[in-house]
Structure 1
Amino acid sequence: MGAVRGEEASASTELWARHRPLCPPVGHELRGPYRDAWVRFHSLPGSKRYAEDEADAAERDRMRGRHAEWLPAHPSGL
């Protein structure tokens, strides 16, 4: 699964800007203006941040797919 493109990216960008206008959706930048709501989820096995092998990469891709499905259905979750 690659980068989000086209209409999906545009809709996500607009949604983000509407709900979190103080900074872009970049993890380390959220800790400043949104420190009360900032959280990091470790979705890979063993709380890894980066995929280390094919199994991790497959799990990462499944998580991205679930996130992509969840976000449009829960815009107030931003």
Structure 2
Amino acid sequence: MIGGCYWLIEIVSSRMLLAASKFVPPRWAVKALKDLIVYNRGFEAVYLPATVLILMGVVFWGIALHIKEKWE
């Protein structure tokens, strides 16, 4: 919802919501797909969103591993 899956991120006017949307994975996935499909850009437009998604995955995996080890 906050990442642009339900409505365009461009219509959001709240600076707080725009800042928060940069920390959710759907925003980066939508940006990559929009750049490829809507704006007909090449795969070089996907490098930044893909990198951010991979880094988020690594960070969230690390947090989950830490929580799992803490409970054992």
Shared fold by TM > 0.5?
no
Question: Could you tell me the TM-score, scaled by structure 1's length?
Answer: 0.30
TM-score under structure 2 length normalisation: 0.31
Question: Greater RCO between the two (CA within 8 Å, min separation 6)?
Answer: 1
Q: Which has the larger radius of gyration?
A: 2
